[in-house]
Amino acid sequence: MEWVIVTGDSKGLGHEISKKILETTNLGVIGISRSSTPGRLELQKKFPNRYEYIHFDLSEIHDIKKLFVNQIKKFERIVGLVNNSALAYDDIASNMKYEPLLNMYNVNVFAPMLLTKHVIRQMILYKIPGSIVNISSISAHTGYKGLAMYASSKGAIEAFSKNIAREWGQKGIRSNCVVPGFMETGMSESLNNEQKQRIYNRTSLKKETDIESVAEAVVFLLTDKSKSITGTILHVDNGTI
The answer to the question of residue 241 being in a domain is no
pTM for the full predicted model: 0.94
pLDDT at 185: 64
The answer to the question of residue 182 being in a domain is yes
The answer to the question of residue 23 being in a domain is yes
Q: Which domain holds residue 170?
A: 3-236
Phi, psi of 215 (to 5 degrees): -60, -40
pLDDT, tens only, 203-228: 888 888 999 999 999 999 999 999 99
- Structural domain count, the chain: 1
Which residues on neighbouring strands pair with residue 133, listed in sequence order? 82, 176
User: Could you tell me if 40 and 47 are in contact, meaning their C-beta atoms sit under 8 angstroms apart?
Assistant: no
Which residues on neighbouring strands pair with residue 177, listed in sequence order? 134, 233
Indicate which CATH number applies to the domain containing 161. Answer: 3.40.50.720
The answer to the question of residue 215 being in a domain is yes
- What is the mean pLDDT of each successive set of 10 residues along the chain, which is 241 residues long? 96 96 98 89 94 97 97 96 95 95 98 98 96 95 89 97 98 98 68 73 85 97 98 94 69
- Known catalytic residues are 150
Which residues on neighbouring strands pair with residue 175, listed in sequence order? 132
The answer to the question of residue 10 being in a domain is yes
